[in-house]
């Protein structure tokens, strides 16, 4: 008996920020979407993931959730202390039209994304739908919610760390480790003059000896405090109140929310299984220092959405879906490497690591003290979709707080345009080809029109910025052609470009056959 063809909407499992983002992006590509979540409704409590990086704000802006950037708070100074003594401080430079990051509670972010979803007629959200299994065949995916069955052409699983049934039904392992130390999180409201735009990281303060405390400012006079606490500790309300007073003194404060949790370092063995893609905490778990959790999950959603859309619309072959695993699994591995190194410094596992940490902190050398490298986009330098260019090599991981020079695989810089808007706003409607002024636009457009039926725009850099400032910012030469993916990553930079070379790079970026190019 042949399988029933899977029509209907793409199913997104999980209504957290990653699932919300996936749904909004899929709908932006014209696909209908059904979002399923096991909860009874939206939780309104808790800061949870508070720090959202610029590239994530850019993604949310593209789907009508720009208020996250507008309402969030950007602190300007990071101070690091050791046993009550300030070791150093540093400040972010605000480069580009969007802030480098904002602090805002996950609960507020979810409400803003909910409003964007409510305005999108292609999305339906169903609560009280716990996914117990997923099966699939050549025609589509069957999502099982107990005795209920739903068919879809594709599914994106964003159901969080607890989605064991989803992973097991797909044959996906979730190997890794769980750290012994616990962390206590409290959201408080207090008047703390001078703290509103400072992040404070305390190593080994006398009020939390041998461990650390992190204090983040948030909007509307609220603060998030993270304590590292001993394994098995369960502080009472009175003890929590005393812990807060040791930090802020006898100032009045309101405790808004508290929770304890342990950090994990885990990675799914596969992030693509047939017609199902795994994203966010469903696919990887990492310590939050450096804010790499949600800031990795949202790019997962974007990568998944444009590839599912291109395949579903017949613009690219099924092979494009496998590059989701190639790219985002590599991104997760890098994030786990970075956060794992940080956690070994923050929570030493043996006396040798503890001794090294003491020596580093006693020395006070900023470059050696690991209080977490802040989230940054993953660069698809080694992706099968990227066309290398020897004259534009990737320079490696850039210094903390900076971005690498433009190169194939790197995210395109976001800059304001003289006529209004931002450069990246031109990138999310399909494949974008940017040409230097020595290239024949009409010839390129004619040749590329024969390569793909996918949305594709060919634009001259000079048409975006007559002053030439944009070309200078990018380092673009007059004979260059730049191919930009729908997620704003550079697929290729081709010097002295001819139409056929550009056509081959576009074909590679979509996994199209060489013959079709």
- Alpha-carbon gap, residue 299 to 279, rounded angstroms: 9
Return left, alpha or beta for 81; rule: phi > 0 is left, psi -120 to 50 is alpha, else beta.
Answer: beta
Reduced to 3 states (helix: H, G, I; strand: E, B; else coil), residue 246 is helix
Collapsing DSSP to helix, strand or coil, 253 comes out as strand
Query: What does the pLDDT look like over 219-248, one tens digit per residue?
Result: 999 999 999 998 888 899 999 999 999 999
Helix 17-28, helix 106-118: angle, nearest 10: 30
Token pair 């979810």 is found at 110
Beta strands in 454-498 (DSSP E): 456-460, 481-484, 490-494
> Which H or E run contains 305?
helix 294-312
| Separation of CA 82 from chain center | 31
Cα(first)–Cα(last) distance of the chain, in Å?
38
Count the Cβ atoms, other than its own, within 10 Å of residue 303.
27
> Two tokens at 190?
């207090």
d(CA 443, CA 449): 10
Q: What are the distances in angstroms from CA 30 to CA 121, 305, 452? A: 10, 11, 18
List Cβ neighbours of 184 (8 Å cut-off, separation of 6 or more): 226, 227, 229, 233, 235, 240, 243, 258, 259, 260
What is the H or E stretch that residue 187 is in? Answer: strand 174-190
pLDDT in tens, the chain (517 residues): 345 556 789 999 999 999 999 999 999 999 999 999 999 999 878 889 999 999 999 999 999 999 999 999 999 999 999 999 999 998 876 667 899 999 999 999 999 999 999 999 999 999 999 999 999 999 999 999 999 999 999 999 999 999 999 999 999 999 998 888 889 999 999 999 999 999 999 999 999 988 899 999 999 999 999 999 988 888 999 999 999 999 999 999 999 999 998 888 999 999 999 999 999 999 999 988 778 889 999 999 999 999 999 999 999 999 999 999 999 999 999 999 988 888 888 878 888 988 998 899 988 887 888 877 888 889 999 999 999 999 999 888 887 767 789 999 999 988 888 888 899 998 999 999 999 988 899 999 999 999 999 999 999 999 888 888 889 889 999 999 999 999 999 999 999 999 999 999 999 999 997 444 3
Q: Which residue has the tokens 């209004």?
A: 420
Rg (CA), the chain: 24
Question: What whole-number distance in Å separates Cα of residue 22 and Cα of residue 16?
Answer: 10
The alpha helices in 63-191, defined as continuous H runs, are 67-71, 106-118, 164-169
Strand arrangement of the beta sheet that strand 140-145 belongs to: 133-137, 140-145, 148-152
Between CA 291 and CA 52 the distance in angstroms is: 8
Contacts of 26 (CB under 8 A, 6+ apart): 10, 12, 33, 156, 305, 308, 309
pTM of the full structure: 0.94
Element (H, E) at 334: helix 319-346
Rounded Cα distance between 291 and 144, Å, is 33
Tens digit of pLDDT for each residue in 326-369? 999 999 999 999 888 888 888 788 889 889 988 999 888 878 88
Give the position of tokens 């690091």. Answer: 80
Contact yes or no for 264/177 (Cβ under 8 A): yes
């Amino acid at each position: 008996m042949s399988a029933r063809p899977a029509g209907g909407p793409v199913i997104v499992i999980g209504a957290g920020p990653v699932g919300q983002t996936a749904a909004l992006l899929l709908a932006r590509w014209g696909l209908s979407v059904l979002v399923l979540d096991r909860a009874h409704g939206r939780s309104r409590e808790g800061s949870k993931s508070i720090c959202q990086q610029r590239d994530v704000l850019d993604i949310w802006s593209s789907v009508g959730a720009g208020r996250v950037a507008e309402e969030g708070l950007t602190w300007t100074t990071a101070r690091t202390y050791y046993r009550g003594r300030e070791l150093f401080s540093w400040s972010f430079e605000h480069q580009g039209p969007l802030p480098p990051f904002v602090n805002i509670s996950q609960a507020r972010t979810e409400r803003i994304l909910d409003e964007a979803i409510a305005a999108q007629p292609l999305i339906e959200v169903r609560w009280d739908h716990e996914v117990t299994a997923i099966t699939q065949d050549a025609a589509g995916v069957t999502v099982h919610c107990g005795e209920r069955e739903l068919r879809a052409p594709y599914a994106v699983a964003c159901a969080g760390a607890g989605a064991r049934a989803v992973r097991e039904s797909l044959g996906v392992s979730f190997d890794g480790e769980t750290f012994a130390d616990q962390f206590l999180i409290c959201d408080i409201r207090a008047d703390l003059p001078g703290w509103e735009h400072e992040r404070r990281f305390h190593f080994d303060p006398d009020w939390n000896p041998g461990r650390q405390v992190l204090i983040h400012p948030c909007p509307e006079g609220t603060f998030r405090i993270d304590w590292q606490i001993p394994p098995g500790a369960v502080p009472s309300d009175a003890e929590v109140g005393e812990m807060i007073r040791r930090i802020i003194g006898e100032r009045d404060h309101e405790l808004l929310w508290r929770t304890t949790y342990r950090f994990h370092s885990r990675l799914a063995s596969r992030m693509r299984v047939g017609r199902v893609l795994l994203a966010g905490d469903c696919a990887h778990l990492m310590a939050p220092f450096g804010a790499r959790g949600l800031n990795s999950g949202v790019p997962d959603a974007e990568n998944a959405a444009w590839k599912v859309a291109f395949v579903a619309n017949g613009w690219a072959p099924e092979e494009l879906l496998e590059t989701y695993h190639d790219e985002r699994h590599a991104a997760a591995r890098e994030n786990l490497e970075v956060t794992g190194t940080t956690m070994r410094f923050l929570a030493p596992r043996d006396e040798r690591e503890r001794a090294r940490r003491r020596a580093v902190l006693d020395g006070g050398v900023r470059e050696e003290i690991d209080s977490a490298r802040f989230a940054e986009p993953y660069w698809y330098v080694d992706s099968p979709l990227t066309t290398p260019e020897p004259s534009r090599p990737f320079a490696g991981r850039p210094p903390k707080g900076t971005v690498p020079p433009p190169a194939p695989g790197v995210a395109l810089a976001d800059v304001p345009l003289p006529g209004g808007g931002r450069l990246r706003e031109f990138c999310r409607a399909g494949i974008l080809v940017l040409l230097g002024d020595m290239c024949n636009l009409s010839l390129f457009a004619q040749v590329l029109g024969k390569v793909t039926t996918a949305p594709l725009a060919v634009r001259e850099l000079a048409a975006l910025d007559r002053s030439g400032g944009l070309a200078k910012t990018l380092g673009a030469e007059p004979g260059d052609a730049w191919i930009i993916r729908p997620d704003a990553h550079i697929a290729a930079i081709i010097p002295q470009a001819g139409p056929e070379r550009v056509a081959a790079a576009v074909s590679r970026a979509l996994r199209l056959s060489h013959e079709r190019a």
